[in-house]
Amino acid sequence: MATRLLIADDEKNIRMGLQSMIEREFSGLYECALVKDGREAWQHVQHYSPELVITDIRMPVMDGIMLMQHIRELEPGRRPMVIILSGYDEFQYAREAIRCGAREYLLKPIVREELFGALATLNEELEQHAGQDRLEQRNPIINDNIVGVEKDRRTGSMDSVSVIADTSGSMSRAIQYIHAHYSEDLNMAVVSNSVSLNYTYFSQAFKAYTGMSFVQYVKRLRIAEAKKLLGCQGGKIYEIAANVGFDNAKHFNKVFRELEGMTPQQFRVKNQRGN
């Protein structure tokens, strides 16, 4: 049975182009529907329950972010997976999309390989869910075990060591994300959503994986990067603070002293003397 896929974009050429690319690459796999704005997309989601939605982030009447906010209000079993498209290479858009539950974030012009990779990943998840549903129907005992583990993942229970082990891949991706975005306005909600984990579950899994809290990890990373900058450039302290993700120099100084036992300026002087 074909996967129901909704494509929402106010540019007809993009809608048609995406449909053409997808149908050529995944012949017979998707049943595509096309709409021109977020309101039409939301109406379609309510009436036809697509499994996947590809939507532009900027559209008339209702934009992609508002569409996703509506989708989040649906029952979990009716929420489609969402791929966001944007012509804006700015973190604020990606962050907002991730907060609203986007599974993938692709920049225009669309790179075919990135689109196909995103679809393949999400389609694999859909197949896994379908397989789990079939298994649950055949074996109620296994069903109880599966539901129990899934409940642990959703509610944040970390009683099972095996559940922690299962998240190692997610934690690795989360750390990669943190290292790529530590200089930006980063918080745990953004990172947990980027790896599709419940906020509470992510917090506990992250601490189990790294041995420290999310906040501690980000602080240490930012200060480690700041020390590199203090040792190799003559920039002002507030500039270095901003470069590693601190809102102001006062907070930067406080955290630096907390972790290093001295101010950034004292560290710089000590480092220069050592050289």
Question: pLDDT tens, 161-189?
Answer: 344 444 677 888 899 999 999 999 888 88
Q: What pTM does this model have?
A: 0.51
Q: How confident is the model at residue 200 (pLDDT cuts 50, 70, 90)?
A: confident
| Distance, CA of 20 to chain centre | 27
User: pLDDT at position 212, please?
Assistant: 84
Q: Which of 102, 104, 91, 94 is nearest to 245 (CA)?
A: 91
Q: Cα–Cα distance between 25 and 33 in angstroms, integer?
A: 17
Question: pLDDT tens, 111-156?
Answer: 888 888 888 888 878 876 664 444 344 444 334 443 444 444 444 4
**Which domains, ranges and CATH numbers included, belong to the chain?**
3-129 (3.40.50.2300), 139-211 (no CATH), 216-274 (1.10.10.60)
- List of residues 6+ apart from 108 with CB closer than 8 A: 14, 85, 86, 87
